Amino acid sequence: MTTTTTIVAPSPRSSRWRQYSALTKPRVVQLIVFCAVIGMLLAVPGLPDLGLTAAATVGIWLVASAAAAFNCLVEQQIDRKMARTAWRPTAKGELNTRQALVFSALLAGAGGMLLWWWVNPLTMWLTIATFVGYAVVYTVILKPLTPQNIVIGGASGAMPPVLGWAAMRGEVGPEALMMFLIIFLWTPPHFWALALYRVEDYRRSGLPMLPVTHGNEFTRLNVLLYTLVLFAAGLLPFITGMSGWPYLLAAVLLGAGFIGYGFALWRSYSDALARKTFRFSLYYLALLFTALLLDHYLTPWLPL
């Protein structure tokens, strides 16, 4: 009997630049920086100081990227078990622990120094606290400990507009806290929609995400309930006079859309619908904050 041996060529390693770039989770960090910039623009009437805005944006981007890299480092064993994250350079062994740690430290140090010298100490301390909240409190402590990890840990993810506001004003105002609240309440339905159709990934990883510990139906109910509370929080900028009618229209339409997805998901589950809900949640946050920004510049020109 004759046997043939097939030699499979190893997949080419990505360039070192791409490996380090992947550690920073660029798509996630883009949304973080976007919300921070919205906070900066809303903090002042008219156009802000461009130099200050650029320094704050780069500083927050560097520290957020450092937190993402540290997260990849800490979760490299978990990432190997999940199809969604197995491609990460630390999970594949393309970057070792020392390389990832040094890279994260350099980014955090550079971002912190930039914020201290070119923005203000308050923004630097708040940004570093956000780094610790995400990379240590959430990733190391909460995520493997409780199915409410994303609820509690969502506080660090909700900080970007607060950082942007503090960068421009040197203080944290009630408007910044309203934006914080919106992102804080948006985070659970956003991530639980993802966890619903990635439940086997999370089960293999050993992480106690809500669909794993409490089941599909209970998670779907919580997604719906959070979209209802989020709808109310989304009206606060208009109720308090921070924004006008253009924002209110966008908030109602987007909030109703999110509730619609939550209700449909609760009534009849499918992986495809969970994916659509997750994707809509991304559009929801980006469009809501865009509406808040456009309203900021349009409302003064609109007739009463």
Do 127 and 229 lie in a common domain? no
pLDDT at 82: 77
Residue 258 CB-half CA count within 13 A: 32
Question: Does any domain span residue 269?
Answer: yes
pLDDT one-digit tens code per residue, 35-78 = 999 999 999 988 889 999 999 999 999 999 999 999 888 888 87
Tell whether 131 and 274 lie within a shared domain. Answer: no
pLDDT for 17 equals: 83
Average pLDDT over residues 144-165: 87
Residue 13 has pLDDT above 80, yes or no: no
Mean pLDDT of 200-227: 91
| Within-domain flag for 1 | no
Overall average pLDDT of the 140-155 stretch: 81
Q: Rounded to whole angstroms, how far apart are CA atoms 291 and 247? A: 5
CATH number at residue 223: 1.20.120
What is the model's pLDDT at position 80? 82
Distances (CA, A) of 166 to 115, 134, 181, 217, 303: 11, 19, 16, 40, 31
Q: Which pLDDT does position 303 carry in this prediction?
A: 56
pLDDT at 2 over 50: no
> Rounded to whole angstroms, how far apart are CA atoms 103 and 105?
5
Same domain, residue pair 167 and 243:
no
Task: Report pLDDT for 14.
Answer: 59
Q: Is the separation of the CB atoms in 183 and 161 below 8 Å?
A: yes
Question: Given the structure tokens 């798509």, which residue do they identify?
Answer: 27
Virtual torsion, Cα 81, 272, 281, 74, nearest 10 deg = 0
In a domain? residue 3:
no
Whether 68 maps to a domain, the answer reads yes
* 291 has pLDDT over 60: yes
Burial grade of 272 (CB within 10 A; 0-12, 13-18, 19 or more):
exposed
Question: Are residues 24 and 166 part of one domain?
Answer: yes
What pLDDT score was predicted for residue 148?
A: 80
Is 9 inside a domain boundary? no
CATH of the domain at 121: 1.10.357.140
Mean pLDDT for the stretch of residues 6-13: 39
In a shared domain, residues 274 and 143: no
- Please say if the pLDDT value at position 1 is more than 80: no
What interhelical angle do 160-169 and 26-42 show, nearest 10? 40
Q: Is the pLDDT of residue 165 over 50?
A: yes
Among 156, 171, 186, the domain-final residue is 171
Query: Would you say residue 20 has pLDDT above 50?
Result: yes
Q: Are residues 166 and 184 in the same domain?
A: no
How many domains is the chain built from? 2
The per-residue pLDDT for 93 is: 83
Query: Distance between CA atoms of 156 and 133, rounded to whole angstroms?
Result: 6
Do 155 and 249 lie in one domain? The reply is no
Does residue 164 contact residue 40 with C-beta atoms inside 8 Å?
yes
pTM of the model: 0.88
Domain containing 199 equals: 173-298
* Same-domain check for residues 154 and 289: no
Neighbours of 172 (CB within 10 A): 16
Give pLDDT, residue 301.
63
Joined tokens for residue 184: 């804080």
| Arithmetic mean of pLDDT, 142-157 | 81
| Mean residue pLDDT across the chain | 89
Residue given tokens 């992480």 in the structure block: 207
Shared domain for 268 and 142, answered yes or no, is no
Domain end call among 171, 196, 227? 171
At 92 the pLDDT is 81
Tokens 């009437």 correspond to: 45
Domain identity same for 76 and 181: no
CA–CA separation, 77 and 93 (whole Å): 10
Question: Based on the domain organization, do 143 and 193 belong to the same domain?
Answer: no
pLDDT at site 302 = 59
Residue 8 counted as domain residue: no
Q: What is the pLDDT of residue 12?
A: 46
Say yes or no: 247 and 257 in one domain: yes
Residue 96 sits at the vertex; the CA angle it makes with 90 and 101, to the nearest 5 degrees, is 90
Inform me whether the pLDDT recorded for 11 exceeds 60: no
117-138, pLDDT tens digit by residue?
999 999 999 999 999 988 888 8
> Does residue 199 sit within a domain?
yes
- Of 139, 171, 203, the position where a domain reaches its end is 171
